[in-house]
Amino acid sequence: MFNRLGFKADKSTQPAQNAQVTVEASVSETDVLDALPNNIIVCDPKTGIITYANPASIETLKFLEDYLPIKAEDILGQNIDVFHKNPMHQRNMLADPKNFPHIAVISLGPEKLELRVNAMYDSAGNYRRAVLSWTKVTEREKFRCEADRLRQMVDKMPINAMMCDPDTLEMTYMNESSRKTLEGLQ
């Protein structure tokens, strides 16, 4: 028997009191994940099977269903390959816990998602699960792209532009025109 994170439940002949503590501990672990506002998905790194998705993930996935190959409520038991154009890349990454932590921003339709993957170990220190926390970062990425575009515009302006810290008067920015002008004064 497996708990909701996919770990084997303890079926030993422990005294009932110890067994109850074990059951309560495993229930409280998933309760904590269920209560998180963050999107959390857990999968088996050997098979790629999704063994857990917290309610926040399911709810967020419902808003993204138009771009997914499956319905949000059908995610449990699915292989992560259904989400990837190149499944071998993800399989190879998941196979080795030394690849973690791993952070990536991916596109899903018009949306941008930030993925953070970490390894989960059992009490003996064996790599057992890959844990994905993910966030929709579309607006943040739009802002970042716009900030980069504006910075490039200022960098390429044909006039000198410099900025300094108002407290220390230390120069914090100089565009290319300023650099060229100051190099000519040396």
The structural domains of the chain, ordered by start, are 36-136 (3.30.450.20), 142-184 (no CATH)
Residue 182: the pLDDT is: 86
pLDDT for residue 23:
47
Query: Among 71, 120, 62, which residue's Cα sits nearest to residue 94?
Result: 120
Handedness of CA 150, 157, 152, 173 (dihedral sign): negative
Please state, in angstroms and as integers, the Cα–Cα distance from residue 123 to each residue in 7, 26, 58, 131, following that order: 11, 13, 28, 16
**Selection from 175, 168, 144, 132 nearest residue 38 by Cα:** 132
- The pLDDT assigned to 24 comes to 53
- Are the CB atoms for 96 and 124 separated by under 8 Å? no
Helix (H, G, I), strand (E, B) or coil at 127: strand
Residues of the chain with pLDDT under 50: 1-4, 7-21, 23
Q: What is the pLDDT of residue 14?
A: 47
